Structure 1
């Protein structure tokens, strides 16, 4: 991805391998998260967020906006 775009993966399998290439070294403190992302330690909020994403995907697949 050459532009500054937020992205996320939807993993629907028990196992998943992802290989991402970036310029290193990796510095977690330079990670930029969107304002709308749930806090990483708030599991209830994360589950609600993922449920909402799945609903949006279903709507897009069915042609409903």
Structure 2
């Protein structure tokens, strides 16, 4: 998949727990401690954008060792 350096597909739950999606076009790195990171510049424009939640919330950001950071 273009932009996905690891070739895997991960699931994603938005920080509010409402939205569910896949990360097929993102490079997701799994660390030895079991956490994951989705970093800027890690093989693509790797930010996560999730929209379309029933409440109208949009999430856009990165993940570093399972911690969400909005951009």
Is the TM-score greater than 0.5? no
Structure with higher helix content: 1
The TM tier, using the shorter chain, reads: under 0.3
More strand by share: 2
TM-score (norm 2): 0.21
- Report 1 or 2 for greater relative contact order, CA contacts < 8 Å, sequence distance ≥ 6: 2
